[in-house]
Structure 1
Amino acid sequence: MLVIIALAIVVAGFCIWVVQFIANATVRTLLRVLVGLCLAALLAFLVLAWGFPIALLVS
């Protein structure tokens, strides 16, 4: 599982690096937001997978 997480972070970093070569500013911004949302989903999955009490997150 740690290997998958590490690969996801590497791929996300590569995607953010590639985004700088896109000429259209709107597309560049949308892709950065998409990559950020994917990383946030990965973080949320990790928090839930490790059994962190959800009640502490909500309160």
Structure 2
Amino acid sequence: MLFILALAIVVAGFCLWVIRFVAHPTARTLLRVFVGLCLAAVGAYLVLAWGFPISLLVS
């Protein structure tokens, strides 16, 4: 599990580095949104995997 999370963070960092070389503004924005969603999914997975009570997140 830790390997997958570390790999996801490395891939997200690589994508953030590649974004600066994309010339088209719409493609750049979509890549940023994609990376943000991926990092949010990793964060949500960590919160849920550690057993954080969901009721505190929703209330």
TM-score, with length taken from structure 2: 0.91
Instruction: Confirm or deny that 1:16 pairs with 2:8.
Output: no
The CA deviation at 1:2 is 1.4
Distance in 1 between residues matched to 2:49 and 2:34, nearest whole Å: 22
Distance in 2 between residues matched to 1:11 and 1:27, nearest whole Å: 18
The CA deviation at 1:29 is 0.7
Identity of aligned residues (%): 76
Where relative contact order (Cα < 8 A, 6+ residues apart) is larger, the structure is: 2
Moved over 3 A (4+): none
Distance in 1 between residues matched to 2:19 and 2:42, nearest whole Å: 20
Unaligned runs of 5+ in 1: none
Distance in 2 between residues matched to 1:15 and 1:56, nearest whole Å: 32
The count of residues paired between Structure 1 and Structure 2 equals 59
The CA deviation at 1:50 is 1.2
Q: Superposition RMSD on alpha carbons, in Å?
A: 0.8
Distance in 2 between residues matched to 1:29 and 1:17, nearest whole Å: 13
Instruction: Confirm or deny that 1:35 pairs with 2:35.
Output: yes
